[in-house]
Structure 1
Amino acid sequence: MKRVVVGLSGGVDSSVTAYLLKEQGYDVIGLFMKNWHDDSVTISDECPWLEDSNDAMIVAEKLGIPFQTVDLSEQYKERIVDYMFDEYEKGRTPNPDVLCNREIKFDVFMDIALSLGADFVATGHYCRKDEEIIDGKPVYKLLAGKDGNKDQSYFLCQLSQEQLSKALFPIGELTKPEVREIAKRADLITAEKKDSQGLCFIGKVRLPDFLQQKLQPKEGVIVQVPNSFEPYNKPLPRFENKEAELTYKSKKYEYAVADGKVVGKHQGAHYFTKGQRKGLAVGGTKEPLFVIETDVEENVIFTGEGKNHKGLYRNVLFVSNEELHWVREDLALATDETMEVEARIRYRQALEKAKLYKVENGLFVEFENPQSAIQEGQFVAWYKNEELLGSGVIS
């Protein structure tokens, strides 16, 4: 009997994960991760982790598996929360869920699991794992979940071969309704429990409230930039080579207050991200305003009217070598190599056709169609035939 440690979060997905593994004859241990109890920063009025850990304990009892809570709040603060504050302060938009899987679930948590004699760590992610022997060595593949609505492979885009070798995703072949049905049949308390929203393992968080506790409010202006802004409309220069063209197209537009008109005030540019519509509180336009750029140095937010505003779209982005990660190391591109892929720049986004170009200092991703609100700090992930091959932080 192989031993598996399941990250029991108190939700239906991880409950069914534990149930299925037990049915398959594994020796299952349930662990609940407590990731937050820093009183200097309140994350939300609710205290979901108490209720969640209680639900996780009841599920473990029902399944007859050992259960314990591990406190990872110190590592979580260091590796996730401090990083988030730091990124927002620089005017970038981090993705805590991707980091949480790389740094917490499949690193700190995995080490604890292995110290308990586990062969595997299992989570309730909607994704699948496959294995193929290539050149006499096992190669692990991360595949999209069967439920297209719930596919969570994007959140695992930073996992390594070693992490994947010890990971199990038992619900990846199922749809959400099937998972709930299994939970009902097994009489698990979490069968009807709503999906948690918000930060990985912390629960519901209003990001501005959270950020305000570390990043002081600071009044600045909101500028509306018209579609007639000159750089949007100037013809493309002639390029010496493809790399020069990609470099040009991956650069974001530079704005100054004089490029538009001041239409309102805000409490801090670092609370806003590109593509954001809510929270601007500016009226008087036919279509809503969207954030097209933030300048945290000068504390200015630049906006454009309507979701088709030219300032929102680009079709090339760049990932530096330091931020480049291949799940499939055997397929990593060498300088001057290219690859046709499908890619996404955020969770729940439909996959879009793209081409990768490896250059000396990093990798360009050129999309067939322009993408809205490409945001520095977010992850781009690329796929081929349902398999996630690699990812990187947009620079």
Structure 2
Amino acid sequence: MKRVVVGLSGGVDSSVTAYLLKEQGYEVIGLFMKNWHDDSVTISNECPWLEDSNDAMIVAEKLGIPFQTVDLSEEYKERIVDYMFNEYERGRTPNPDVLCNREIKFDVFMKIALSLGADYVATGHYCRKGEIEKDGKKVYQLLAGKDSNKDQSYFLCQLSQEQLSKTLFPIGELTKPEVREIATEQGLVTADKKDSQGLCFIGKVRLPEFLQQKLKPKEGDIVEVPSGNLHYQRNIPVFDSKEAELAFFAEKFSYSPEDGKVVGKHQGAHYFTKGQRKGLNVGGTVEPLFVIDTDVDENIIYTGQGKEHPGLFRRTIFVNNDELHWIREDLQLNEDESMNVKARIRYRQPLQDAVLYRVSSGMYIDFKTPQSAITEGQFVAWYQDDELVGSGVIS
């Protein structure tokens, strides 16, 4: 009997994961990760980890599997929270969920599981794992979940072959309603529990309030840039190489206060992200204002009216070499090579046609149609059919 440690989160997905593995004849151990208990940076009565760990324990009892809690808050603070604050200070928007999987669930947590004699770690992610043989070697694939509405492969876009080899995703073949149905049939306490929202670690903490604990509010101007601004009427030169063309289209517009008019005040540019509409509190415009850029050095937010504003769109993005990651190492490109892919720049975005171009300093992702609200610090992930083959941080 192979031993599997399940990350029991107190939600329905991980509960059904544990149940299915037990049915399949594995020896199952439930482990709850406590990732946060620094009450100075949360709204503690809103932090549901106690309720979650309790639900996880009740599920483990019901299934008759051993259960324990591990406290990973120290590693969490170091690897995720500090990184987040650092990224926001630089004016980038990190994705804590992707990092949480790479650094915590499939690294720190996985090491604990293996030290308990586990053969595998299992999580309640909606994705699947494939296995192929290539040049006499086993190669693991990360495949999209069967439920296209819930597919979570994007959140796992930074996993390695090593991590995938020791991972199981038992609910990847199921849809969310099927998972809830199984939980109801088995009388699991989590059957009707709502999906958790908010940061993957501090439960229901609202991000601006969380950031305000460390990044102090500082008043600055909100500038509205009209869609007829000269930035958007630039002449496209004749390019002497593909790389020059990609560099041109990947370059973001750089704004100054003279490009528009001041329409309001904000409490800190680092609390805002591109494409954001809520929280600007500026009225009186024909269409709602969207953030088109933030300047954290000058503490200015640049906005434009309407979701079709040209300042929101860009066709090409760049990923630096040190932030480039291939799950399928055997498919990685050499310099001057290209690859047709489907790509997404955020969770649940429909996949978009794109071409990868490898250059000496990194890689360009050139989309067939311009993308809205490309955000530095977020992850771009690329697929071949339903297989996620690589990802990188948008620079």
Q: Which amino acid aligns with 1:37?
A: H
Contact 1:44–1:204 at 8 Å: present in 2 too? Answer: no
Q: Which residue of 2 aligns with 1:69?
A: 69
What is the distance in 2 between the residues matched to 1:4 and 1:283? 55
Q: Deviations over 1:260-313 (max 9, x none)?
A: 000000000000000000000001101000000000000000000000000000
What is the distance in 1 between the residues matched to 2:105 and 2:114? 12
Equivalent residue runs for 1:289-308 within 5 Å: 289-308=289-308
What is the distance in 2 between the residues matched to 1:201 and 1:130? 28
Return the offset for 1:202: 2.1
Q: Which residue of 2 aligns with 1:93?
A: 93
- SS of the equivalent of 2:39 reads coil
Q: Which amino acid aligns with 2:389?
A: L
What is the distance in 1 between the residues matched to 2:21 and 2:14? 11
Return the offset for 1:205: 1.7
**Could you state the TM-score of these two structures normalised by the residue count of structure 1?**
0.99
What is the distance in 2 between the residues matched to 1:299 and 1:277? 18
What is the distance in 1 between the residues matched to 2:180 and 2:294? 42
What is the distance in 2 between the residues matched to 1:57 and 1:65? 9
Contact 2:101–2:155 at 8 Å: present in 1 too? Answer: yes
What is the distance in 2 between the residues matched to 1:264 and 1:100? 36
Aligned Cα RMSD in Å?
Answer: 0.6
- SS of the equivalent of 2:209 reads helix
Q: Which residue of 2 aligns with 1:123?
A: 123
Q: Which residue of 1 aligns with 2:46?
A: 46
Equivalent residue runs for 1:1-395 within 5 Å: 1-395=1-395
Q: Which amino acid aligns with 1:351?
A: L
What is the distance in 1 between the residues matched to 2:273 and 2:199? 17
What is the distance in 2 between the residues matched to 1:231 and 1:116? 58
Number of paired residues? 395
Q: Deviations over 1:209-268 (max 9, x none)?
A: 000010000000000001111120122011111100100110110000011000000000
**Could you state the TM-score of these two structures normalised by the residue count of structure 2?**
0.99
Q: Which amino acid aligns with 2:104?
A: I
Return the offset for 1:6: 0.1
Question: Aligned pair in 2 of structure 1 residues 205, 39: CA closer, same or farther (>3 Å)?
Answer: closer
Return the offset for 1:40: 2.5
What is the distance in 1 between the residues matched to 2:343 and 2:47? 36
Q: Which amino acid aligns with 2:101?
A: N
- SS of the equivalent of 1:45 reads helix
* Runs of 5+ consecutive residues of structure 1 not aligned to the other structure: none
| Ranges of 4+ aligned residues in structure 1 off by more than 2 Å | none
What is the distance in 1 between the residues matched to 2:317 and 2:135? 33
Return the offset for 1:44: 5.0
What is the distance in 1 between the residues matched to 2:64 and 2:284? 61
Question: Aligned pair in 2 of structure 1 residues 389, 256: CA closer, same or farther (>3 Å)?
Answer: same
Contact 2:42–2:205 at 8 Å: present in 1 too? Answer: no
Q: Which amino acid aligns with 1:209?
A: E
Question: Aligned pair in 2 of structure 1 residues 168, 43: CA closer, same or farther (>3 Å)?
Answer: farther
Q: Which amino acid aligns with 1:199?
A: L
Contact 1:44–1:206 at 8 Å: present in 2 too? Answer: no
- SS of the equivalent of 1:124 reads coil
Q: Which amino acid aligns with 2:82?
A: D
Contact 1:353–1:367 at 8 Å: present in 2 too? Answer: yes
What is the distance in 2 between the residues matched to 1:45 and 1:296? 32
What is the distance in 2 between the residues matched to 1:270 and 1:342? 31
What is the distance in 2 between the residues matched to 1:238 and 1:269? 36
Return the offset for 1:43: 4.6
Return the offset for 1:47: 2.6
What is the distance in 2 between the residues matched to 1:127 and 1:227? 40
- SS of the equivalent of 1:40 reads helix
Contact 1:211–1:271 at 8 Å: present in 2 too? Answer: yes
Identity of matched residues, %: 78
Q: Which amino acid aligns with 2:275?
A: G
Contact 2:42–2:202 at 8 Å: present in 1 too? Answer: no
Contact 1:273–1:294 at 8 Å: present in 2 too? Answer: yes
- SS of the equivalent of 2:45 reads coil
What is the distance in 2 between the residues matched to 1:43 and 1:139? 44
What is the distance in 2 between the residues matched to 1:266 and 1:234? 30
